[in-house]
């Protein structure tokens, strides 16, 4: 596992954004795994700007997002699908048909797992971008998730609901369930970059870098990945010894 500690989100956006851009330049049909939340936002903005400046072609790139809230349709402004359209896809020349986000309208795990088949059909994920929850979740894989899990419907913990309430008008509006790629689905990616910013992530980053592997901290599954880069700011690194 490689760890890079940077000053702020601007430096993080450049570090991660340049890796994404280089991949798309060398493999015009690259398969990217993407995350939502605040952590990758500055990276997406950097990617948009660099794409415009260097006229980078995204039309054959394929993307798979990690997760979606159950019950929200693609057009719902709180959905992760809507987030991706606004924060990235509408600002680059990607073919929207090549962008996959788990459907928040799936009825059961069997339907949800078709997502893993779709990823496989596209040859697997070349580069997976991850954020991290304060409780160490990746995607929406909450503590106690099996390391063998695939895409499925999950219950959100009260702490995740509270942490994500800032994106909704009221905490009561935050869906109680999500559909998320599993830990195994994530581990299948050829390369992974995890971004964490701020002191609220420090405990999770300590568990990831220095802790014992345990389902209590879902992020620790990543300790077994052979090509993972963790990019954090100083606050997120503040508990590391
Ligand atoms: C959500 C998402 C995760 C994300 C995490 C952290 O729960 N499902 O994919 O990594 O929040 O979000 P943020 O980057 O906003 O702190």
Q: Where are the domains of the chain?
A: 2-189+216-234
Predicted local distance difference test score (pLDDT) of residue 41: 98
Residues in CB range of 96: below 8 A, 6 or more apart: 85, 89
pLDDT of 142 reads 97
pLDDT for the residue numbered 230: 98
Model's pTM, two decimal places? 0.97
Strands 177-180 and 191-196, sheet pairing: unpaired
Q: How far is CA 201 from CA 48, 51, 134, 172, in A?
A: 26, 30, 5, 24
SS (HEC) of 197-210: CCHHHHHHHHHHHH
**Kind of pairing between the strands at 31-34 and 127-130:** parallel
Q: How high is the pLDDT of residue 157?
A: 95
To the query of whether residue 135 is one of the catalytic residues in this protein, the response is yes
Please tell me the distance between residue 46's alpha carbon and the centre of ligand 1 in angstroms.
19
Above pLDDT 90, what percent of the chain? 100
CA distance 170 to 156: 16
The rounded distance, in Å, linking the Cα atoms of 199 and 216 is 20
Q: What top-level class would CATH report for the domain 2-189+216-234? A: alpha beta
Average pLDDT, integer, range 136-159: 97
Measured in angstroms, how far is the CA atom of residue 50 from the centroid of ligand 1? 24
**Is 180's C-beta closer than 6 angstroms to any atom of ligand 1?**
no
Give catalytic status of residue 122 as yes or no: no
Mind listing the pLDDT tens digit for each residue in 80-124?
999 999 999 999 999 999 999 999 999 999 999 999 999 999 999
> What are the b/e assignments for 106-142, b being 16+ CB within 10 Å?
beeeebbbebbeebeebeebbbbbbbbbbbbbbbbbb
Q: Exposed/middle/buried for 148, CB within 10 Å: 0-12, 13-18, 19+?
A: exposed
The single residue listed with the structure tokens 């700011």 is: 233
Strands of the sheet containing 67-69, edge to edge, are: 67-69, 177-180, 152-155
- Ligand 1 touching residue 217 (CB < 6 A): no
Average pLDDT over residues 182-191: 98
Catalytic residue among 98, 135, 141, 188: 135
Closest ligand 1 atom to Cα of 178: 8
Question: Ligand 1, atom 12: nearest CA belongs to which residue?
Answer: 37
Neighbours of 12 (CB within 10 A): 25
Distance 238 CA to ligand 1 centre (A): 20
Confidence of residue 172 (pLDDT cuts 50, 70, 90): very high
Q: What are 42's two structure tokens?
A: 């500055």
What is the structure's pLDDT at 133? 96
């Amino acid at each position: 596992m490689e760890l890079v500690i940077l000053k702020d989100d601007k430096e993080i956006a450049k570090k991660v954004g340049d890796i994404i851009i280089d991949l798309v330049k060398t493999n015009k049909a690259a398969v990217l795994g993407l995350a939502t939340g605040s952590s990758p936002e500055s990276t997406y903005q950097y990617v948009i700007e660099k794409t415009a400046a260097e006229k980078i072609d995204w039309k054959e790139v394929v993307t798979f997002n990690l997760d979606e809230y159950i019950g929200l349709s693609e057009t719902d402004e709180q959905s992760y699908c809507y987030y991706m359209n606004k924060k990235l896809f509408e600002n680059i020349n990607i073919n929207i048909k090549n962008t996959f986000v788990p459907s928040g309208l799936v009825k059961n795990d069997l339907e949800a797992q078709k997502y893993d088949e779709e990823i496989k059909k596209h040859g697997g994920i070349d580069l997976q971008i991850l954020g991290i929850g304060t409780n160490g979740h990746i995607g929406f894989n909450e503590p106690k998730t099996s390391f063998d899990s695939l895409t499925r419907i999950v219950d959100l913990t009260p702490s995740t609901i509270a942490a994500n309430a800032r994106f909704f008008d009221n905490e009561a509006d935050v869906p109680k369930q999500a559909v998320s790629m599993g830990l195994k689905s994530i581990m299948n990616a050829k390369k992974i970059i995890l971004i964490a910013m701020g002191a609220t992530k420090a405990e999770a980053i300590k568990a990831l870098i220095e802790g014992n592997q345990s389902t209590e901290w879902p992020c620790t599954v990543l300790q077994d990945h052979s090509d993972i880069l963790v990019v954090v700011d100083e606050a997120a690194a503040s508990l590391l010894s």
